[in-house]
Structure 1
Amino acid sequence: MRDPYVVLGVARTATPDEVKNAYRKLARSMHPDVNRSDPRAEERFKEVSSAYHLLSDPQRRARFDRGEIDAQGNERTYRPGPGTGGFGFRSRRPAGDRGEGFKPGAGFGEDDLFSDMFRRASRGAGDANGAGAGLRPQRGQDAHYRLKVSFEEAALGCTRRITLTNRKTLDVRIPPGWEDGHTLRLKGQGAAGIAGGAAGDALVEIGVREHPVFRRDERNVIAEIPVTLREAVLGARITVPTLEGLVTLTVPEDSNTGTVLRLRGKGIPAEDAVRGDLLVHLRIVLPDPADPRLKAVVRKLKDPDVDPRTKAGLI
């Protein structure tokens, strides 16, 4: 491998921050994911990562500067050789250092932008003689996705098709009763593992769109349904929406705003529990535009003996 200072384009007097900044700049431009059409991109990225691995370690950098190890981190020993006054250099890997390769994430925090790049580079960190063969298997990273579904789809369950980052398509089954923010885990559908490690998972976060009529209360569904004054006073048969379509509901006589009518078994299904109910909250609406005949009738009505606000304990 070339001189690590030359590879990173820094002086031998460069500070650790200067070395790290040079690596960041090169890693961003040379990463294989950014240069998919360049077959040599991975090799160049490995060389940059190997150079940084050596120079980011103060002890290894000092030993390299003293000529004790080569650019690959191998020990240098003397041997007789022609034209060298009886001495020459030879690189030797100590027995305890075989297969060391890269230590994934060396010099980085868990949240560092380039920690993933550095881990991926570790797959090819060894030399042509298999120096990286001793890498420990590492599990691949999880892939994160977000899927938007309707209120009805989340309540009743559905199957949706998603496209993964590797362009593979999967049919994802969302169980009945799924709530906003819940996450599905698809085993083995994340990034590939390193050195024979298991693949990561795909985590699909479900987002539930708001519904213009329905809202959820645990296993029950609440719907506020408008009724006319005539329907509320005299009673009526009205059509109301449910998760599975329209049904007919009887409004009793003398119903009021806030009256709750329960449709059993029309709420959120559950695989391990009794299905919830649909709770219909009635809301009386007056004619629009106003009907002068209604005003005439109301004027003839006797005022109530008790103020409704007093009865409700508001005043």
Structure 2
Amino acid sequence: MSKRDYYEVLGLSRDASADDIKKAYRKLARQYHPDVNPGDKEAEAKFKEAAEAYAVLSDPEKRSKYDRFGHAGANGQGFDFDGFGAGGFGGLDDIFDIFFGGGRRQRTGPQKGNDLRINMEISFKEAAFGVERDIQVPRTEHCETCNGSGAAPGTSPKKCGVCHGSGQIQQAANTPFGRVIQSRTCGNCNGTGQVIDRPCPTCRGTGTVRRTRSIHVKIPAGVDNGVRLRLNGEGEPGLRGGPPGDLYVFISVRPHKIFKRDGNEVFCEVPITFAQAALGDEITVPTLDGDVEMKVPEGTQTGAVFRLKGKGIPYVNGAGRGDQHVRVKVTTPTKLSDRQRELLKEFAALSGEKIPKGAEKGFFRKVKDAFMG
């Protein structure tokens, strides 16, 4: 007798999510489990069928093979119920998850403290060459009066008499599987395993206080907008002897009036005159390191781009720097003196161009278009 489709067994479509698969299996497991239906062979068969379908569809790799090749792809992945923990049932953890909804356990050992985040804005040049800053970080810290114990000086916490220091209280519950022991957090000590008779006057028994701490931060050269720096151990204190969390510094870089950045390359635009473009010249160009001289060759057109090697952004790993790209833009004079006008007319005549009377404006527009590309 051929096997039914696993999705059909669980009553699901083929695009069902992992959560849908788990919920469907829980429902069928509660309904058909052998301990809920003692002696019912049909219910036991349906439970095994649902468990086999869940064993395959709950595993991403097995599900992928099944979706492509059907039961042949799941060959060797069959499920035989041999009792608790067999096959794809997942053991006692899944049994509790199915019948009690999970979440029965609570961590009572050492826990790492919470991480913190702070935003820092820096200038374009600080991002390029790095900067050191002292930042003010509000955070929770261990109380110095009681050294984090929560008890008044000269006293110490005592073992909880209800849970005997475990932080958990066990209760027995009757289930289809028999008598099962469940644990819950002790209400007398809130799961800490300790009680404080005389609370610390500074922290009122919590063992922690809020304080603003000055932390020195080194921003490396070459960072970009959106970079996240981690300062180990500068977050919130850990619980029950656990390590502190970390502090994350998120960097934002203010835009520059002249420079733009793409990776480690820097771009800027510099104006030049008609004469400088036509005859060539040596011009002053701003860089992150200060002004430098750059040669503009004769006959340069507007929009031409020149490269200044090693004048870009340093690489974070220290392996050199990017380049700076300078785009020149030929500017057109807005006002001409009579002498300048005459010289331009003479230039046009020597170039073989005629300027009809009254067409001077058209000529100057033509000269502008020639230089502006």
Going from structure 1 to structure 2, the CA distance change for 1:254 and 1:197 (only over 3 Å counts) comes to same
Give 1:280's aligned residue: 326
Going from structure 1 to structure 2, the CA distance change for 1:303 and 1:153 (only over 3 Å counts) comes to farther
| Deviation of the 1:135 alpha carbon | 2.5
CA distance in 1, matches of 2:116, 2:249: 8
CA distance in 2, matches of 1:296, 1:277: 43
Give 2:54's aligned residue: none
Deviations 1:233-262 (A, max 9, x none): 111122111111111111111111111111
Aligned equivalent of 1:157, options 117, 130, 133: 130
Query: 3-state DSSP class of the match of 2:212?
Result: coil
| Deviation of the 1:214 alpha carbon | 0.5
Give 1:1-315 correspondences, 5 Å limit.
135-165=108-138, 166-270=211-315, 271-291=317-337, 293-299=339-345, 301=348, 302=351
Larger Rg belongs to: 2
Going from structure 1 to structure 2, the CA distance change for 1:284 and 1:172 (only over 3 Å counts) comes to same
Going from structure 1 to structure 2, the CA distance change for 1:135 and 1:250 (only over 3 Å counts) comes to same
CA distance in 2, matches of 1:283, 1:265: 23
CA distance in 2, matches of 1:260, 1:286: 19
| Gaps in structure 1 of 5+ consecutive residues | 1-131
Normalised by the length of structure 1, the TM-score is 0.51
CA distance in 2, matches of 1:140, 1:195: 10
CA distance in 2, matches of 1:177, 1:303: 54
CA distance in 2, matches of 1:218, 1:170: 29
Give 1:34's aligned residue: none
CA distance in 1, matches of 2:250, 2:338: 54
CA distance in 2, matches of 1:189, 1:290: 65
Normalised by the length of structure 2, the TM-score is 0.43
Query: 3-state DSSP class of the match of 2:251?
Result: strand
CA distance in 2, matches of 1:207, 1:289: 43
CA distance in 1, matches of 2:336, 2:247: 57
State the structure with bigger RCO (CA 8 A, min sep 6), 1 or 2: 2
CA distance in 1, matches of 2:274, 2:227: 42
| Deviation of the 1:192 alpha carbon | 1.1
Structure 1 stretch displaced more, 242-251 or 288-297:
288-297
CA distance in 1, matches of 2:257, 2:352: 37
CA distance in 1, matches of 2:307, 2:261: 14
Give 1:84's aligned residue: none
| Gaps in structure 2 of 5+ consecutive residues | 1-105, 139-210, 354-365
Give 2:77's aligned residue: none
Query: 3-state DSSP class of the match of 2:278?
Result: helix
| Deviation of the 1:274 alpha carbon | 3.4
Deviations 1:139-177 (A, max 9, x none): 111111111111111011121221111322122111111
CA distance in 2, matches of 1:291, 1:200: 71
